[in-house]
Amino acid sequence: MSETAYWGCGVEGVRRNSVLVQHAVRTEGTTAWCGASVRPVMIDGWHVPFVPTGTASCRECARRWEQAAKMAQKTALQGP
Ligand SMILES: [Zn+2]
């Protein structure tokens, strides 16, 4: 189990320029990886995964996600 598997998509309560910035957040959490206050995006009890390459993805969360993914790849390779 890689650390990134615990992180899903989260959004802030307010929109910035009508675009919802997507952060990485734990399913039960309210604080994104970068420190922003967010709420997890849930669909029928399923936590939507965080996509670091998304156009609306938080740069800081994506950077941390990719660092964790690199660490995880030392033990197990995961596809996109
Ligand atoms: Zn973020």
pLDDT at 3 over 70: no
Ion ligand 1: residues, CB within 5 A, are: 23, 32, 34, 36, 58, 60-61
pTM: predicted TM-score of the whole model, two decimal places: 0.77
- For ligand 1, the distance from its centroid to the CA atom of residue 55, given in whole angstroms, is 13
- For ligand 1, the distance from its centroid to the CA atom of residue 73, given in whole angstroms, is 22
Cβ atoms of 10 and 41 within 8 Å: the answer is yes
Cβ atoms of 58 and 36 within 8 Å: the answer is yes
- For ligand 1, the distance from its centroid to the CA atom of residue 48, given in whole angstroms, is 15
pLDDT single digits (tens) 27-67? 889 999 999 999 999 999 999 999 999 999 999 999 998 89
